[in-house]
A = this chain, B = another copy of it.
């Protein structure tokens, strides 16, 4: 079984307990043995098309998940990870950072921040003078140069909302490409690298056991 999570900027494969991350613009998707099933979720139509051309029998899990929420337009990746958690705050940190709250199996809503690297890139688009190296070490005191001033800005713009959201939540799970970095700065959070794939697996297994009855 091969799992693929197509995000805004990457293909993330999970195969044989290994992950393979490829830029969304790649023209070379990996070769797997012919008889392997490919299951995927996607928030990117162009990339979905590319995947289906390579793996002609690929199965879109969006059609197999039943996730109820009052939220209009929830991304399939958020629905999949949220369906895996009964109670807790789920932070998925990629090119965007999505934050979702589950309470007793019910999705309570959520919000979206730009990702850390997206924020960093934003500054140099304001002015080439603001093009400085990315550095998430926590600063003490007010910055005294442009590099620190920008990294301090990114740090506080992203971590203050996340910390505020997490403050009264016992179960805080962080995943995604920047999940490990973000988890380090939210003291009581847990980093779960493969949350999305565990959730996809559970949906597939539930579906297959239903089909076998």
Contact = CB atoms under 8 A, between A and B. Distances in A.
Interface of A: 8-9, 43-44, 69-73, 75, 95-96, 101, 108-115, 118-119, 122-123, 125-127, 129-130, 141-146, 148-150, 152-153, 156-158, 160-161, 164
> Secondary structure at chain A's binding surface: helix, strand, loop or mixed?
mixed
Contacts of A160: 156-157, 160-161, 164
12 contacts: A43-B129, A72-B144, A96-B123, A109-B141, A111-B148, A111-B152, A111-B156, A112-B130, A112-B149, A113-B157, A114-B157, A156-B160
Given A96-B127, A157-B158, A161-B157, A143 B8 contact: no
User: Closest 10 interchain pairs by CB?
Assistant: A109-B142, A160-B160, A156-B161, A157-B157, A111-B152, A72-B145, A113-B153, A111-B149, A112-B149, A8-B127
B8 A145 contact: no
Contacts of A122: 114, 118-119, 122
Contacts of A70: 144
Contact of A112 (B8, B69, B118, B150): B150
Contact of A43 (B9, B101, B118, B127): B127
A148 B101 CA distance: 15
A141 B109 CA distance: 8
Nearest to A94: B126
A118 B111 contact: no
Nearest to A97: B153
Given A118-B122, A119-B122, 10 more contacts: A8-B127, A44-B127, A71-B145, A72-B144, A101-B142, A108-B142, A114-B119, A156-B161, A156-B164, A160-B164
